[in-house]
Structure 1
Amino acid sequence: MSGSVWLPPGARPDTVPGIPRQRTPSWAQPDPLDELAVRLDDFVAAAVHPDEIAALLESDGMSDDQIRERYGLKNSFALAEELYERVERRYPEPEGPVHDPWQVSLLGCLLRGVVFALPGLGYVLGAPLMTGPRDLGLPAGTIPLLAGALVGWTWNQGLAHRAYSWLGLGDRTAAKRSLLLGAPAGVVLGALAAFLVAGTGDMTGVAFAAGQALYLGASTVLLVLGRERALLVALLPMAAGAGLGLVHPMPDAARLALLLFSVTVVAVLGFSEAAFPVRAPKGRGELRDQPQHTRSRQATMGPSFCTSLPYALFGLGTGVLVLYAALDNALAAVALTLSMGPAEWLLHRFRSGGLAGLRNTSTPRAFWRTTATTLAECLTVYLVTLLVLGLAMSALSPGLLVLGVVLWTGLLLQSFGAILSATAVCCAAALTQTLALLTHTGDPYWVALIVHGTAAAAQAALVCALLGRATAHR
């Protein structure tokens, strides 16, 4: 009958053995690798190297024995390479606006440029107070001032790098501590250098150099800790007095009072800012919310002193080059100093363009072309700015623009992490120019032009070599 089931004699329906399930042949079974690729699809598709996938597999606790038994591959790296080959690359765009750490305010950079240049008016205000015979053909007191300035620039450049390193690690307390200890040491070294080169001569230049060293140390603290506006306010009385002194005669007592007032205010602001403790949020330690491995690294290691040495020597080399330009034409040095504000902004602009190139290009050649175009644009804008400043101060010369290229490309190499290359080129240029002047070799103008041109070409070549390296744009 239709629908009936035949049973053996004496058998009941509930005693009939079950019909065995048909087995799927081995060739029809799903591939475990395909299943794993589907499960990890999003992560594998966004990976830029198989090692990223291997790290994920190991973090999930997948051992090499399990991989050999289940997937028939040697270890996690072999499995990662297989997954990397099976899944097509997809790099999804991040949600929301892309974070760009190189976006800075133009106004803030211009303010820093003004703050860099304003101390030069202090020399204008104090020049009539410098008495005594000329030294090496220079006005009285110039040699002690130059010696103190070079020592101060060198020391404070290295000190600023160390403090910035602590800030980069998230430890503002350690950054302030390094500034509070290092800035006074720089003051002593700058004043001592001025005293040693002055010998038995007039001590007026030494006294001015001591005030200069005090200003350099305190202003370094304020600039590193982001207090440019406070520094600007402290310098305004001195700057106003210098401007007034250029128009109307000013008593020496008034000149000295303005200088002492500005230096004292800067010193009080700077060292009190470094000494003021960091306020911990809600009574907790400053580093309480940071990962344990980060806190332990800060507590045990911190930035090395040796890593700050190249930055100090870079400050020495560039300082010597700028001082030679100032001795030839003081207004040229003022133009260079004022241009440092736009230079800083353009440097950030270039780094921002490099990040955009990393996102928007897919081949090394295209990335290099993009960054090279951005570099040419930023360097052109900087040179036009320096050209305008030079024309405004009647200090324009080919040497000024070439030295500007040296300074800007040196700062760019420094931001790339190639500080040793920039330091070597700038220090070699400074040493060559010094030896040429001491031995009276050639015309000083042409010597400077050749030295600066060679340094600019060398640094430009180094920059071009680094443009295509993605790691240089981190």
Structure 2
Amino acid sequence: MSGSLWLRPGAATGDTLPAVPRQRTGPRTPDGGGAVLAADPLDELADRLDTLAATAVHPDEIAAILESDGMTDDHIRRTYGRQDSFALAEDLYARTERRHPAPAPPAAGPWHTGLPGCLLRGLLFALPGLGYVLGAPLLATGPGRYGLPPGTVPLFAGAVTGWVWNQALAHRAYTWLGLGDRRAAVWALSAGAPAGAVAGAAVATAAAGPGELPAVLFGAGQALYLGAATVLLVLGRERALLAALTPLAGAVPAFRLDLPDALRIALLLLSLTATTVTAAAALRPGGSARGRGGPPLARSVPYGLFGLGSGLLVLYAGADAIIALTLSMGPAEWLLHRFRAAGTARLRLLTTARDFRRAVTGTLARCLGGYLAVLLALTVTAALLWPGAAAVTAPRVASLLLIGAVLWLGLLLQSFGAVASAAAVCLLAAAAQALAPAAGPLAAGAAAAVLCVLTRVLLARPTAHRA
């Protein structure tokens, strides 16, 4: 029902009835005046109210318009021969065909986003990998542990800590932004990002062994970067982050040339300093929001656990595969938005639950297939360009695509609020992969199958797509 049409009887709007589109000739009034009456005054009134009456869903809407225009019951009895405004409205409603216009789709809904912005975010996720290219020779100062290169254990421990912490922090800040309180979001980031940096550095230090001091220092810088990057990404400062990461482009020659250690350290410190300063500047206007309640902290825990599970799955993929996966996060984000926008559009167009389920299932298959196709192309490209990359074999590609499917479906469930299920599946798959590395593809395949079923069951319901 249109709010502009539904008025209480007797309410004054200041509007008058639409102008008469045409005059009809008829007999003059008995007093000999010059006014010309229609053969049936009700025809003239019906013409005047045609648009309003056609869109009315109840005669009372027309009655309210008549009364708001000043038509009294006495005038209605003398002019139209009806008892009152309600009787006249019923006649007008009965003689006018219903013509309800279809609702126009929103010009820019919350799930409409541009591909360039998502590709930029994917690039930002992958660029820090160049920092590891610059820092790798600096870490090779002693023997590695568990068959891994030197410094790997403290770096991985610090990175996983950062992923868990910053995933939960980003959720809390995004929740504040969704509530329209940017100041509280900035305050949450101001308190959470430094704490996360300290936690990541502490874990990297605790996980370090003899001779791994360079890895500890690198891990501390890594923790500081993760906190600063989270601030800039949550606050929509992607271009500022890209500018801060520009010095890492100096790692490109390091693929083929042996750069001096001093140059490597300078490039790393320059990028880290630029990122940190830019993040601090983005937080400065926020002020303080102390004393506010806000969403319970427990709601952010599943997001951190999903970051832990997905991070552990990715760590086993290899350097070139990690680059492909991080670059694919841009197209993945865009396809997530496309799926959500398509679901919202189907709510307006389809009339049965069965049609909706079929449409959503088809959209899900297309979006997941599109993401896996992008990931496959990036995997082949990264394997060709990355020094020392493992050979592209069918089992390795299949395993990587299964991990990609787990990540995309998990992110999709997370965007619908079903993050606890996605986190549980990812953690179980990561645990199975850690306990039996040879069974990694089987664990990823089982996780992908479970997430497919969960997604189909949860997201085929129309109620899941109503914001």
**Which category of TM-score, normalised to the shorter sequence, fits these structures?**
0.7 to 0.9
Question: Which residue does the alignment assign to 2:225?
Answer: 215
Following TM superposition, the consecutive aligned residue runs of length 4 or more in structure 1 with deviations greater than 4 angstroms are 89-92, 95-99
SS in structure 2 at match of 1:138: coil
Q: 2:359, 2:62 → 1: CA distance? A: 32
CA apart distance, 1:132: 1.3
Where does 1:280-359 land on structure 2 (aligned, <5 Å)? Answer: 301-325=293-317, 329-359=318-348
1:147 aligned residue: 157
Query: Which amino acid counterpart does residue 38 of structure 1 have in structure 2?
Result: P
CA contact (8 A) 1:219 1:270 kept: yes
Counterpart of 1:373 in structure 2 is 362
Other-structure match for 2:452: 460
> What is the CA–CA distance in structure 2 between the aligned matches of 1:246 and 1:99, rounded to whole Å?
43
Aligned AA for 2:191? L
Counterpart residue number, 1:273: 282
Match of 2:194 in 1: 184
Distance 2:414 2:299 in 1: 12
Offset of 1:108 from its aligned partner?
0.4
CA contact (8 A) 2:187 2:287 kept: no
* Distance in 2, Cα, partners of 1:463 & 1:40: 44
Whether the aligned pair in 2 keeps the contact of 1:365 and 1:468 (CA below 8 Å) is no
Question: 1:61-460 to 2 correspondence within 5 Å?
Answer: 93-95=102-104, 97=106, 99-130=108-139, 131-238=141-248, 240-277=249-286, 301-325=293-317, 329-394=318-383, 395=392, 397-437=397-437, 444=438, 447-460=439-452
Distance 2:152 2:212 in 1: 11
The offset of 1:276, in angstroms, is 2.4
Alpha-carbon shift at residue 435 of structure 1 (Å): 2.1
Mapped to 1, the partners of 2:357 and 2:105 lie a distance apart of 27
Shift of 1:148: 0.1
Task: State the 1:472 CA deviation.
Answer: 1.4
Shift of 1:95: 4.9
Which residues in structure 2 correspond to 1:6-45 (within 5 Å)?
38-39=59-60
Task: Please report how far the alpha carbon of residue 177 of structure 1 lies from its aligned counterpart in structure 2 after TM superposition.
Answer: 0.4
Alpha-carbon offset, residue 97 of structure 1: 4.8
Asked if 1:471 is matched to 2:463, the reply is yes
Unaligned runs of 5+ in 2: 1-56, 64-97, 384-391
What SS does structure 2 have at the residue aligned with 1:410? Answer: helix
Q: How many residues align?
A: 365
Q: Deviations over 1:286-313 (max 9, x none)?
A: 9xxxxxxxxxxx9854111010000000
**Post-superposition offset of 1:374:** 0.9
Residue 52 (structure 1) aligns with: none
Task: Provide Cα deviations, 1:124-175, integer angstroms capped at 9, x if missing partner.
Answer: 1111111111221111111000000000000000000000000001110100
Task: Measure how far apart 1:41 and its partner are.
Answer: 9.2
Q: CA deviation at 1:272?
A: 2.1
Of the structure 1 ranges 414-423 and 219-228, higher mean CA displacement relative to structure 2 is found in: 414-423
Counterpart AA for 2:378: L
Q: Deviations over 1:92-125 (max 9, x none)?
A: 5335755522110100000000000000110011
* Aligned amino acid, residue 359 of structure 1: R
Q: What SS does the aligned partner of 1:137 have? A: coil
Structure 1: runs of 5 or more not aligned: 1-35, 43-88, 280-285, 287-297, 438-443
Partner amino acid, structure 2, of 1:310: P
Aligned letter for 2:306?
Answer: F
Q: Is this contact kept in 1: 2:432–2:440, CA < 8 A?
A: no
SS of match in other structure, 1:194:
helix
Greater Cα offset, 460-469 or 212-221: 460-469
| AA partner of residue 234 (structure 1) | A
**2:406–2:447 CA contact under 8 A, matched in 1:** yes
> Quick check: 2:154–2:205 contact (8 Å CA) kept in 1?
yes
- Contact kept, 8 Å, 1:409 with 1:460, in 2: the verdict is yes
- Taking the aligned partners of 1:229 and 1:156, their CA distance within structure 2 comes to 20
**Which whole-Å CA distance do the structure 2 matches of 1:333 and 1:352 have between them?**
29
SS of match in other structure, 2:447:
helix
Whether the aligned pair in 1 keeps the contact of 2:164 and 2:305 (CA below 8 Å) is: yes
Task: Indicate conservation of the 8 Å contact 1:141/1:205, yes or no.
Answer: yes
Answer yes or no: is the 8 Å Cα contact 1:335–1:393 preserved in 2.
Answer: yes
- Cα distance, 1:425 vs structure 2: 0.5
SS of residue paired to 2:316: helix
For 1:468 and 1:401, locate their aligned partners in 2 and report how far apart those are by CA, in whole Å: 24
Q: Which residue does 2:41 correspond to in 1?
A: none
Could you tell me how far 1:248 is from its partner in structure 2?
2.5
Distance 1:96 1:397 in 2: 41
Q: Secondary structure at the match of 1:417?
A: coil
Instruction: Provide the C-alpha distance between the structure 2 equivalents of 1:313 and 1:216, rounded to a whole number of angstroms.
Output: 17
Q: CA deviation at 1:271?
A: 2.0
Helix, strand or coil at the partner of 2:306: helix
CA contact (8 A) 1:417 1:472 kept: no
* 1:60 alignment counterpart: none
Q: 2 CA distance for matches of 1:95 and 1:419? A: 32
Residue identity opposite 2:364 in structure 1: L
TM-score under structure 1 normalisation? 0.73
- Does the CA-based 8 Å contact 1:177-1:275 persist in structure 2? no
Report the AA paired with residue 463 of structure 1: T
Q: Equivalent residue of 2:436, what SS?
A: helix
Secondary structure of residue in 2 paired with 1:397: helix
The structural deviation recorded for 1:428 is 1.0
Contact conserved, 1:157 with 1:312, CA < 8 A, in 2? yes
